[in-house]
Chains A and B, each alone.
Chain A
Amino acid sequence: MQLESLYQEIILDHYKHPHGRGLRDAADPADQVGEAHHVNPTCGDEVTIRVATDGDTLHDVSYDGMGCSISQASASVLHELLTGRAASEAFEVHAAFVALMSGRGQVTPDEDVLGDGVAFEGVARYPARVKCALLPWMAFKDAAARAGVGVSPTEVKA
């Protein structure tokens, strides 16, 4: 049944048992911390992402939010995939996830890059839900930029 491609077990599992949920202070006081709060105006989903980094490694990607299973599971997967990663790697993962979600179901995800994120392949076939899945990832991008790391860090203004 179609519905199962959307609500894969992995997604429901992340939704019911979110990994690393809650906003945390940086463990290392020397870290730069950036935070972004994004809302989906059509449904009222909200997510806050906080990034703590020394400029090279993302020491923590913490989050809080409320919303549908897709947006909240996506935040949980994001936390799991990006925490502890080098900033440059994190943006590769970010780009791969955005490409997957923009692919209308035509993009085959690479599990080595996206881990549990591959479960969102089915979501890409539901245009109304793509925004839900992307919400935490867009907030992450802003939060990272505010912490001084970005896709093109040189372009980031303080």
Chain B
Amino acid sequence: MTTIAIPPGMPQYDDVPRYDVAAVRADFPILDREINGHPLVYLDSANTSHKPRQVLDVLREHYERHNANVSRSVHTLGTEATEAYEGARGKIAAFVNAPSVDEVVFTKNSTEAINLVAYAFSNASLRPDADERFRLGPGDEIVISEMEHHSNIVPWQLLAERTGATLRWFPVTDSGRLDESGLTDLVNERTKIVSLVHMSNILGTVNATERITARVREVGALLLLDCSQSVPHMPIDVVDLDADFIVFTGHKMCGPTGIGVLWGRAELLATMPPVLGGGSMIETVTMGGSTFAAPPARFEAGTPPIAEAVALGAAVDYLSGLGMRAVQWHEKELTAYALDALATVPGLRIFGPDVPVGRGGTISFALGDVHPHDVGQVLDSLGVQVRVGHHCARPVCTRFGVPATTRASFYLYTTMEEIDALVAGLEQVRKVFR
């Protein structure tokens, strides 16, 4: 056998960080399940990921050993719960390289995090003394893109309606990339905020944000990145990204549902008006009015999802243990393999980049004219779980002229064999609908 040596000085094969996928799979109890008499092939992690035992154990242990409310108790359990909750905040801050732990605001999910920022704009727009950067009115512009999830569309449509501001959109190219050709016109002196998806949940595209960030800085606007699909799958460094806000959600990154994160630059959070009012977010309350706590508490009214936050901290520990660089490489290999394998299926059309560059392991496709619901149903009968529909990104479907797509999405526990099962399943679909 001949081997080709990679020249010295170039990245060597062994430089790529790796982990043992079989060992990882053993951490996820649900992966042992059978579906309709077949081994579970879970290709819907972009929808929600599975949870390793390490996270489930922490969730259970919190309720069994440390349950109490946070930030208001002097007793031991209250102190333990508060330490665990704030400890999780610290882990998450470190995970995205936030300069300060106080820049991490816990929310219910990404949707709530985006709405929090949108409503802060809304509230600031009603107060003449608010920070000018958050004040919106007729003539001001909000910029999003055609490839957004509905959670990064609807809050801005509603904000535009409330304030009279104009909503503008980056288009998407035929190959599923963000069309930046109109950047200087689209992001201009009237722009107050640009809110973009970092990795598309339907096309899989990972957007290069550098040029946009530079333009946003040039015009003095703010930049929010929806990192719901990127934080779980690749190393994310908020300093490197140079965004003003990022949002992500726990349940897509091995954590529980009900917990999400808004990261914002400290200086911006400090000037943002509160959104939800209630306990824990105040400094002092009188019958004449209230003053508010510093961030992040200002944005966390009421009893927060404590156990969920603590478990998200455990999820971050789990991911860090594997190494996000290794997770990214694992998925890159899967994506390259899947793109090649899917190209062999007759009549299959991929929506989004068809090369494993500038994209993640989320692949949407059409199989001839078979409706995605029917594709998903036949695959389910073989144990293969994919998502079908518009993926909460209808403008993308409209852009590509289809009512819906079938989507396979991978994660750190996905194997090449599972991609083979998908391809074999698609053959079965073709037989049923021939």
Residue positions of A touching B, CB distance < 8 A: 1-3, 6-7, 12, 42-46, 66-70, 126, 129, 132
Contact = CB atoms under 8 A, between A and B. Distances in A.
A93 to B, nearest CB: 25
A44 B389 contact: yes
User: What 6 A-B pairs have minimum CB-CB distances, sorted nearest first?
Assistant: A44-B403, A68-B373, A68-B371, A3-B381, A44-B404, A43-B389
A121 B13 CA distance: 56
B424 interface: no
Contacts of B371: 45, 67-69
A3 B373 contact: no
Contacts of A66: 403
A12 B431 CA distance: 12
A69 B373 CA distance: 8
B202 to A, nearest CB: 13
Contacts, number: 50
B378 interface: yes
A68 B381 contact: no
Contacts of A3: 377-378, 381, 432
Nearest to B404: A44
Contact of A2 (B36, B388, B403): B36
Contact of B389 (A1, A42, A70): A42
Given A2-B36, A69-B371, A69-B433, A44 B390 contact: yes
The interface centre, meaning the residue of A2, A69, A132 with most chain B CB atoms within 10 A of its CB, is: A69
Contacts of B432: 3, 7, 12
A43 B388 contact: yes
Contacts of B389: 42-44
B377 A43 contact: no
Contacts of A45: 371, 373, 403
A126 B381 CA distance: 12
Contact of A69 (B374, B388, B397): B374
A129 B293 CA distance: 49
Interface bracket on B:
10 to 19
A48 to B, nearest CB: 14
Interface string B25-40: 0000000000010000
Contacts of A2: 36, 381
Given A2-B381, A7-B377, A44-B389, 18 more contacts: A1-B381, A2-B36, A3-B381, A12-B432, A12-B433, A42-B389, A43-B372, A43-B373, A43-B388, A43-B404, A67-B371, A68-B371, A68-B373, A68-B374, A69-B371, A70-B374, A126-B377, A129-B377
Interface of chain A, helix or strand or loop or mixed?
mixed
B252 interface: no
A67 B389 CA distance: 10
A2 B381 CA distance: 8
Interface in B377-422: 377-378, 381, 388-390, 394, 397, 403-404
Contacts of A7: 374, 377-378, 432
B362 to A, nearest CB: 19
23 contacts: A2-B381, A3-B378, A3-B381, A7-B374, A7-B377, A7-B432, A43-B373, A43-B388, A43-B390, A43-B404, A44-B390, A44-B403, A44-B404, A45-B373, A45-B403, A66-B403, A67-B371, A67-B373, A68-B372, A68-B374, A69-B374, A70-B373, A70-B374
A158 to B, nearest CB: 32
